[in-house]
Protein backbone atom coordinates (compact mmCIF):
# COMPACT_ATOMS: atom_id res chain seq x y z
CA UNK A 1 0.00 0.00 0.00
CA UNK A 2 2.78 2.42 0.97
CA UNK A 3 4.67 1.72 -2.26
CA UNK A 4 1.47 1.98 -4.34
CA UNK A 5 0.56 5.45 -3.03
CA UNK A 6 4.14 6.72 -3.01
CA UNK A 7 4.70 5.62 -6.61
CA UNK A 8 1.24 6.85 -7.69
CA UNK A 9 2.06 10.35 -6.44
CA UNK A 10 5.60 10.29 -7.82
CA UNK A 11 4.54 9.02 -11.27
CA UNK A 12 1.71 11.57 -11.60
CA UNK A 13 4.11 14.37 -10.63
CA UNK A 14 6.76 13.02 -13.04
CA UNK A 15 4.24 12.98 -15.92
CA UNK A 16 3.35 16.59 -15.09
CA UNK A 17 7.07 17.39 -15.07
CA UNK A 18 7.48 15.70 -18.49
CA UNK A 19 4.61 17.79 -19.91
CA UNK A 20 6.13 20.93 -18.41
CA UNK A 21 9.41 20.10 -20.20
CA UNK A 22 7.60 20.52 -23.51
CA UNK A 23 7.12 24.24 -22.69
CA UNK A 24 10.81 24.82 -21.90
CA UNK A 25 12.55 26.12 -25.05
CA UNK A 26 15.11 23.73 -26.56
CA UNK A 27 18.84 24.52 -26.69
CA UNK A 28 18.72 26.85 -23.67
CA UNK A 29 20.65 26.47 -20.38
CA UNK A 30 17.31 26.30 -18.49
CA UNK A 31 16.21 23.26 -20.50
CA UNK A 32 19.43 21.39 -19.61
CA UNK A 33 18.77 22.07 -15.92
CA UNK A 34 15.10 21.01 -16.02
CA UNK A 35 15.80 17.93 -18.17
CA UNK A 36 18.54 16.80 -15.77
CA UNK A 37 16.16 17.18 -12.80
CA UNK A 38 13.54 15.15 -14.71
CA UNK A 39 16.11 12.44 -15.51
CA UNK A 40 17.28 12.33 -11.87
CA UNK A 41 13.81 12.12 -10.28
CA UNK A 42 12.83 9.60 -12.99
CA UNK A 43 15.79 7.35 -12.10
CA UNK A 44 14.90 7.49 -8.38
CA UNK A 45 11.28 6.61 -9.19
CA UNK A 46 12.64 3.74 -11.34
CA UNK A 47 14.51 2.37 -8.29
CA UNK A 48 11.35 2.67 -6.18
CA UNK A 49 9.46 0.76 -8.89
CA UNK A 50 12.10 -2.03 -8.85
CA UNK A 51 11.66 -2.26 -5.07
CA UNK A 52 7.89 -2.48 -5.54
CA UNK A 53 8.17 -5.23 -8.16
CA UNK A 54 10.57 -7.22 -5.93
CA UNK A 55 8.10 -6.84 -3.03
CA UNK A 56 5.13 -7.76 -5.24
CA UNK A 57 6.83 -10.95 -6.49
CA UNK A 58 7.10 -12.15 -2.87
CA UNK A 59 3.71 -10.87 -1.63
CA UNK A 60 0.52 -11.84 -3.43
CA UNK A 61 -2.39 -9.41 -2.92
CA UNK A 62 -5.69 -10.93 -1.76
CA UNK A 63 -7.77 -12.32 -4.65
CA UNK A 64 -10.37 -9.95 -6.09
CA UNK A 65 -13.80 -10.63 -4.57
CA UNK A 66 -15.77 -13.37 -6.31
CA UNK A 67 -18.77 -10.99 -6.16
CA UNK A 68 -17.08 -8.92 -8.89
CA UNK A 69 -18.16 -9.89 -12.42
CA UNK A 70 -15.53 -12.00 -14.21
CA UNK A 71 -14.98 -9.36 -16.91
CA UNK A 72 -14.22 -6.74 -14.26
CA UNK A 73 -11.68 -8.99 -12.54
CA UNK A 74 -10.04 -9.79 -15.89
CA UNK A 75 -10.00 -6.11 -16.91
CA UNK A 76 -8.50 -5.08 -13.56
CA UNK A 77 -5.77 -7.73 -13.82
CA UNK A 78 -4.94 -6.79 -17.43
CA UNK A 79 -4.83 -3.10 -16.50
CA UNK A 80 -2.50 -3.82 -13.56
CA UNK A 81 -0.13 -5.91 -15.70
CA UNK A 82 0.01 -3.13 -18.32
CA UNK A 83 0.55 -0.50 -15.59
CA UNK A 84 3.55 -2.52 -14.35
CA UNK A 85 4.84 -2.76 -17.96
CA UNK A 86 4.63 1.05 -18.31
CA UNK A 87 6.28 1.49 -14.91
CA UNK A 88 9.26 -0.52 -16.23
CA UNK A 89 9.40 0.88 -19.78
CA UNK A 90 9.14 4.59 -18.85
CA UNK A 91 12.26 4.98 -16.67
CA UNK A 92 14.21 2.31 -18.61
CA UNK A 93 13.56 3.91 -22.04
CA UNK A 94 14.39 7.40 -20.72
CA UNK A 95 17.57 6.18 -19.03
CA UNK A 96 18.69 4.14 -22.07
CA UNK A 97 18.03 7.06 -24.46
CA UNK A 98 20.13 9.36 -22.27
CA UNK A 99 23.07 6.98 -22.48
CA UNK A 100 23.07 7.09 -26.29
CA UNK A 101 23.62 10.85 -26.21
CA UNK A 102 26.80 12.68 -25.37
CA UNK A 103 24.96 14.57 -22.61
CA UNK A 104 24.32 11.48 -20.44
CA UNK A 105 22.74 12.34 -17.09
CA UNK A 106 23.93 15.07 -14.76
CA UNK A 107 22.41 13.71 -11.55
CA UNK A 108 20.51 16.57 -9.86
CA UNK A 109 22.70 18.90 -11.94
CA UNK A 110 25.60 18.02 -9.63
CA UNK A 111 27.21 14.68 -10.57
CA UNK A 112 27.87 13.77 -14.20
CA UNK A 113 27.13 10.10 -14.87
CA UNK A 114 29.20 9.48 -18.03
CA UNK A 115 27.11 7.77 -20.76
CA UNK A 116 27.93 4.07 -21.24
CA UNK A 117 26.60 4.08 -24.85
CA UNK A 118 27.82 5.68 -28.06
CA UNK A 119 26.58 9.11 -29.14
CA UNK A 120 24.09 7.96 -31.80
CA UNK A 121 21.09 10.10 -32.84
CA UNK A 122 19.03 7.23 -34.25
CA UNK A 123 19.39 4.98 -31.17
CA UNK A 124 18.59 8.01 -28.99
CA UNK A 125 15.54 8.81 -31.14
CA UNK A 126 14.27 5.21 -30.87
CA UNK A 127 14.37 5.09 -27.06
CA UNK A 128 13.20 8.70 -26.68
CA UNK A 129 10.29 7.92 -29.05
CA UNK A 130 9.48 4.84 -26.95
CA UNK A 131 9.56 7.04 -23.80
CA UNK A 132 7.15 9.57 -25.31
CA UNK A 133 4.80 7.01 -26.94
CA UNK A 134 4.62 4.93 -23.74
CA UNK A 135 3.74 8.06 -21.75
CA UNK A 136 0.45 8.34 -23.71
CA UNK A 137 -0.39 4.66 -23.11
CA UNK A 138 0.49 5.14 -19.42
CA UNK A 139 -1.81 8.18 -19.09
CA UNK A 140 -4.66 6.24 -20.78
CA UNK A 141 -4.18 3.25 -18.42
CA UNK A 142 -3.98 5.48 -15.33
CA UNK A 143 -7.17 7.29 -16.41
CA UNK A 144 -8.95 3.96 -16.78
CA UNK A 145 -7.56 2.82 -13.41
CA UNK A 146 -8.76 6.04 -11.74
CA UNK A 147 -12.22 5.79 -13.30
CA UNK A 148 -12.49 2.17 -12.10
CA UNK A 149 -11.35 3.18 -8.58
CA UNK A 150 -13.94 6.00 -8.58
CA UNK A 151 -16.65 3.64 -9.76
CA UNK A 152 -15.83 1.37 -6.82
CA UNK A 153 -15.86 4.37 -4.46
CA UNK A 154 -19.32 5.44 -5.67
CA UNK A 155 -20.73 1.89 -5.67
CA UNK A 156 -18.67 0.36 -2.87
CA UNK A 157 -20.15 -3.17 -3.09
CA UNK A 158 -16.76 -4.83 -3.39
CA UNK A 159 -14.76 -2.66 -0.95
CA UNK A 160 -11.88 -2.45 -3.47
CA UNK A 161 -10.83 1.09 -2.59
CA UNK A 162 -11.16 0.39 1.15
CA UNK A 163 -8.73 -2.52 1.05
CA UNK A 164 -6.05 -0.30 -0.51
CA UNK A 165 -6.31 2.07 2.48
CA UNK A 166 -4.85 1.33 5.92
CA UNK A 167 -8.29 1.47 7.59
C1 LIG B 1 -4.10 8.35 -7.53
C2 LIG B 1 -5.11 7.59 -7.80
C3 LIG B 1 -5.13 6.09 -7.65
C4 LIG B 1 -6.12 5.37 -7.04
C5 LIG B 1 -7.39 5.92 -6.37
C6 LIG B 1 -5.74 3.96 -7.12
C7 LIG B 1 -6.46 2.91 -6.59
C8 LIG B 1 -6.07 1.59 -6.56
C9 LIG B 1 -6.77 0.54 -5.88
C10 LIG B 1 -8.04 0.69 -5.09
C11 LIG B 1 -6.08 -0.61 -6.10
C12 LIG B 1 -6.39 -1.98 -5.47
C13 LIG B 1 -7.02 -2.98 -6.34
C14 LIG B 1 -7.09 -4.27 -5.53
O15 LIG B 1 -7.44 -4.25 -4.36
O16 LIG B 1 -6.80 -5.32 -6.11
C17 LIG B 1 -4.95 -0.31 -6.93
C18 LIG B 1 -4.03 -1.22 -7.40
C19 LIG B 1 -3.01 -0.91 -8.29
N20 LIG B 1 -2.64 0.36 -8.71
FE21 LIG B 1 -3.58 2.09 -8.25
N22 LIG B 1 -4.56 3.85 -7.81
C23 LIG B 1 -4.14 5.12 -8.16
C24 LIG B 1 -3.02 5.45 -8.89
C25 LIG B 1 -2.18 4.54 -9.49
C26 LIG B 1 -1.09 4.88 -10.37
C27 LIG B 1 -0.68 6.32 -10.80
C28 LIG B 1 -0.51 3.71 -10.76
C29 LIG B 1 0.66 3.50 -11.68
C30 LIG B 1 1.81 4.04 -11.43
C31 LIG B 1 -1.22 2.62 -10.09
C32 LIG B 1 -0.93 1.27 -10.22
C33 LIG B 1 -1.59 0.23 -9.59
C34 LIG B 1 -1.26 -1.18 -9.76
C35 LIG B 1 -0.18 -1.76 -10.66
C36 LIG B 1 -2.15 -1.89 -8.94
C37 LIG B 1 -2.21 -3.41 -8.77
C38 LIG B 1 -1.42 -3.82 -7.56
C39 LIG B 1 -1.12 -5.30 -7.61
O40 LIG B 1 -2.04 -6.11 -7.60
O41 LIG B 1 0.07 -5.63 -7.68
N42 LIG B 1 -2.22 3.17 -9.33
N43 LIG B 1 -4.96 1.05 -7.21
C1 LIG C 1 8.61 6.98 -14.05
C2 LIG C 1 9.51 7.63 -14.74
C3 LIG C 1 9.23 8.64 -15.82
C4 LIG C 1 8.04 9.17 -16.29
C5 LIG C 1 6.62 8.85 -15.84
C6 LIG C 1 8.39 10.14 -17.34
C7 LIG C 1 7.46 10.87 -18.06
C8 LIG C 1 7.77 11.74 -19.10
C9 LIG C 1 6.80 12.47 -19.89
C10 LIG C 1 5.28 12.43 -19.69
C11 LIG C 1 7.48 13.20 -20.81
C12 LIG C 1 6.88 14.13 -21.88
C13 LIG C 1 6.59 13.33 -23.13
C14 LIG C 1 6.08 14.21 -24.25
O15 LIG C 1 6.89 14.96 -24.82
O16 LIG C 1 4.87 14.14 -24.54
C17 LIG C 1 8.90 12.94 -20.61
C18 LIG C 1 9.92 13.51 -21.35
C19 LIG C 1 11.25 13.23 -21.18
N20 LIG C 1 11.80 12.32 -20.28
FE21 LIG C 1 10.78 11.28 -18.88
N22 LIG C 1 9.75 10.17 -17.48
C23 LIG C 1 10.30 9.28 -16.58
C24 LIG C 1 11.64 8.98 -16.41
C25 LIG C 1 12.67 9.51 -17.18
C26 LIG C 1 14.07 9.14 -17.07
C27 LIG C 1 14.63 8.12 -16.04
C28 LIG C 1 14.76 9.84 -18.02
C29 LIG C 1 16.22 9.83 -18.34
C30 LIG C 1 17.19 9.38 -17.53
C31 LIG C 1 13.79 10.67 -18.74
C32 LIG C 1 14.09 11.53 -19.77
C33 LIG C 1 13.18 12.31 -20.45
C34 LIG C 1 13.55 13.27 -21.49
C35 LIG C 1 14.96 13.57 -22.00
C36 LIG C 1 12.34 13.85 -21.94
C37 LIG C 1 12.18 14.91 -23.03
C38 LIG C 1 11.93 14.22 -24.33
C39 LIG C 1 11.83 15.20 -25.50
O40 LIG C 1 11.11 16.18 -25.39
O41 LIG C 1 12.51 14.92 -26.50
N42 LIG C 1 12.53 10.43 -18.20
N43 LIG C 1 9.04 12.04 -19.57
**Can you give the pTM of this predicted structure?**
0.95
Rg (CA), the chain: 18
Strand partners, 106: 112
Q: Using the predicted structure, report yes or no on whether residue 157 has a pLDDT greater than 90.
A: no
Best probe residue, ligand 2, of 42, 85, 87 (max atoms within 8 Å of C-beta)? 42
The answer, yes or no, to whether any atom of ligand 2 lies below 6 A from the CB of 89, is no
User: 83: Cβ below 6 Å to ligand 1?
Assistant: yes
83 close to ligand 2 (CB < 6 Angstrom) = no
Determine what percent of the chain is predicted with pLDDT higher than 90.
92
Task: Please give the share of the chain, as a percent, with pLDDT higher than 70.
Answer: 100
Residue 156 near residue 112 (C-beta atoms within 8 A): no
The domain 2-164 is placed in CATH, from the list 1.10.630.10, 1.10.287.3510, 1.20.950.20, 1.10.3720.10, at: 1.20.950.20
Residue partners of 104: CB distance under 8 A and separation at least 6: 98, 112, 113, 114, 115
For residue range 81-101, list pLDDT tens digits in order: 999 999 999 999 999 999 999
Q: Given pLDDT bands bounded at 50, 70 and 90, which one contains residue 77? A: very high
Q: Ligand 2: which residue has its CA nearest to atom 11?
A: 18
Q: Output the pLDDT for position 4.
A: 98
CA distance 4 to 83: 12
Amino acid sequence: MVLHWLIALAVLAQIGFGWYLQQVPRRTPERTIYVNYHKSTGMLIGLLILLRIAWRLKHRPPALPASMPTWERRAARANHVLLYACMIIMPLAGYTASNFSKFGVKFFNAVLLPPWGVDDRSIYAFFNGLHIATSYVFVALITLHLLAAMKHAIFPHHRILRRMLPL
